[in-house]
Amino acid sequence: DWRLKNGAKMVVVDPRLTVTASKADQWFGIRPGTDLALALALAHHVFEHDLQDQRFCDNWVEGWDAWRDYLMAKGYSPDWAAGITGIEAAQIRALAEDIARADGCVMFAARGVNQHANGTQTNRALMFLAAITGNIGRKGGAFFNFGTPSPVVANAPADRIRHPEKPMAGVNPARWLDAMQTADPYPIRAFITCNNPLSAWPHQDRVREAFKSLDLLVHIELFANETSAYADYVLPAATGVEKGEISRASEDRRVVWIDKVIEPPGQAKADGWIWIELGKRFGFDDVLQDKYKDSALFWDEMCINDPWMKGCTQKRLHSVPWRWVRVPVTDEDAPEIETLHLEGTTALGSPEGHRFPTKSGKLEFWSPAQEAKFQALGFSALPEFYTDREQLIDLPYAVRTADGTAVRSPFAKTPADTVTSRIVQPDANSPARALKARGFD
């Protein structure tokens, strides 16, 4: 609200008219899963009308011209995107011009973008749009999303850090339904979960049947919900004010400590307490020690492994009444940085003195080395459009390669698995036509 009162213009892109959207100057009710088409069309219009920040592109964006040439060759224009997104071409053109001409534009994306099959490329396209309009590394401009979790295993014994023996450990959890129901690629018979997968995962009817087929379902949650009804055991979890915990505000890099105020009711326990006790029973008591049930101590030992948060200790957080600090803070006495990546500054962790923490010192969107990494997973570093299978119009979509074997991600800074895929063009047997044949419209 304070941003709007200060005169900021807000545009919300969301299939739903949310409370946030109701406060916006403009709301675009986009077709779910097509944000990538919108982002590509916005960039296309920027280039078509020479609205880009050319100095920033030349000096700080590696591969911008490769993306430009690709966008123009593929015809990813506002007219093309209108039929995909449900947003009028004129509205897309006007939004592109507003972004390019604004005296600073901040772009936010979160789970609504991330949880689609094209989430990675959509985030790259939105970041590219911010880059070519000069809205990275300047006051009033930024691109924000939920980042990769910080490593928490740096102090664990080396023999406890392993590549997963089961390939499903690196697969989207929604795919575990196959393993639960058909033992593909192997059977999953027990499942311990938090939150509410019955609500959050796709194919709710399948989720119900998969949960019924399990030998054991354990649910850890604050409140009973749909998933609880299928659980053999429900373990009550404590809230933040009943245990003390860390939180974050992704829009401005704040790490926030929530003080413990009251004791948990009944048998409720902190999530960490539950997982430590389970881990001890699986033989990991040398790593999951009782001392880590103290969430403040656990946080201090974890944050020292991350150069961005090394100074974000309990002492630092409790030195101010509001209990938060804006990262990065390299030590307890380091000042907060208001704007990251200003020209003339050095990125944290960049020994070469680069403005951005990359090998080139630029924002990297295409290079032969980057293309090779994407190709290893079945994609391209250029922004080819695709979306989810479950669309009611014929659109390109991604499918796993036949073996579905997990491979080590070439991008992750810490070990992480993914699967190889390929982009499929719709044909006479497209998922959209199959859905329509079943009565969806």
Where in the sequence of the chain do the CATH 3.40.50.740 domains occur?
158-326
Determine the Cα–Cα distance for residues 195 and 212; give it in Å rounded to an integer: 18
> What's the confidence (pLDDT) of residue 150?
52
Angle at 264 between CA 261 and CA 268, to 5 degrees: 155
> What's the confidence (pLDDT) of residue 186?
85
> What's the confidence (pLDDT) of residue 404?
55
Determine the Cα–Cα distance for residues 11 and 95; give it in Å rounded to an integer: 9
Q: Which residues contact 438 (CB under 8 A, 6 or more apart)?
A: none
> What's the confidence (pLDDT) of residue 272?
92
Determine the Cα–Cα distance for residues 80 and 84; give it in Å rounded to an integer: 7
Biggest alpha carbon–alpha carbon distance for the chain = 64
Tokens of 303: 């944050």
Where in the sequence of the chain do the CATH 3.40.228.10 domains occur?
2-144
> What's the confidence (pLDDT) of residue 391?
85
Q: What is the full per-residue pLDDT of the chain (441 aa) written as tens digits?
A: 666 778 889 999 999 999 999 999 999 999 999 999 999 999 999 999 999 999 999 999 999 999 999 999 999 999 999 999 999 999 999 999 999 999 999 999 887 888 788 989 999 999 999 999 999 999 989 998 765 545 545 566 667 666 666 666 556 676 788 889 998 878 999 999 999 999 888 778 999 999 999 999 999 999 999 999 999 999 999 999 999 988 876 567 888 999 999 999 999 999 999 999 999 999 988 888 999 999 899 888 887 778 888 889 999 999 999 899 998 898 899 998 888 898 988 888 777 889 998 889 999 999 999 999 999 888 999 999 999 888 878 899 888 776 656 666 777 665 556 777 889 888 877 888 887 788 876
Determine the Cα–Cα distance for residues 315 and 304; give it in Å rounded to an integer: 13
Provide the 10 A C-beta neighbour count for residue 336: 12
Q: According to the CATH classification, is domain 2-144 in 1.20.1290.10?
A: no
H or E stretch covering 94 = helix 89-101
Determine the Cα–Cα distance for residues 119 and 49; give it in Å rounded to an integer: 27
Domain 158-326: which CATH number of 3.40.640.10, 3.40.50.620, 3.40.50.740, 3.40.50.10490: 3.40.50.740
DSSP 352: T
